[in-house]
Amino acid sequence: MDIWQIWIIAAIILFIVEVLTPSFFAAGIGIGCLVAGIAAIFIPEVWAQLIIFSVGVLLGFIYIRPLVLKYLHRKDNTINTNVDALIGRTGRVSVTIDNSAGQGRVMIDGDDWKAVSAEGSIIPEGSCVEVLRVDSIILTVRKTE
């Protein structure tokens, strides 16, 4: 088996390892192995292949890794669901909100929710409100108009 084949096999193994780990560490080294394997076809000296391998790894980490992390591993890929998705949404008051009387309802996307005013003020029916917090099934809102 020639040295270039060993470099290519190492690159393939590292790319397979990268599929199983989301850090792009193994792929960065795999890029170095791939570049060194291609160079080994033309350059028989091992010391030159090691230098090319090092440069390939360095370039992989400096130029390719940030692009991969930016587009494939987004930090903010959480999606709010259920009641967490209501925070920040706007709705219309369907029953006047009066904290002292214990009444108030808000309609959001066809769903009717019990609501309280964040400031403690009375919010009349038909007003637009923004959801600030969700406590169980009660929305804490503030008037947006």
pLDDT for res 68:
76
CB of 29 closer than 8 Å to CB of 71? no
Q: What is the mean pLDDT of residues 35-58?
A: 94
Q: Considering the chain, what is the average pLDDT of its residues? A: 89
What gap in Å lies between CA 69 and CA 112, rounded to an integer?
41
Residue 22 has pLDDT above 90, yes or no: no
Residue 96 carries which side chain, given as an amino acid letter?
T
Distance, CA of 11 to CA of 35 (rounded, Å) = 9
With 0-12 / 13-18 / 19 or more C-beta atoms within 10 angstroms meaning exposed / middle / buried, residue 105 is: middle
- What is the pLDDT, as a whole number, of residue 143? 92
Q: How far is CA 128 from CA 33, 65, 119, 138, 144, in A?
A: 60, 46, 15, 17, 6
At 107-122, the pLDDT tens digits run: 998 889 999 999 989 9
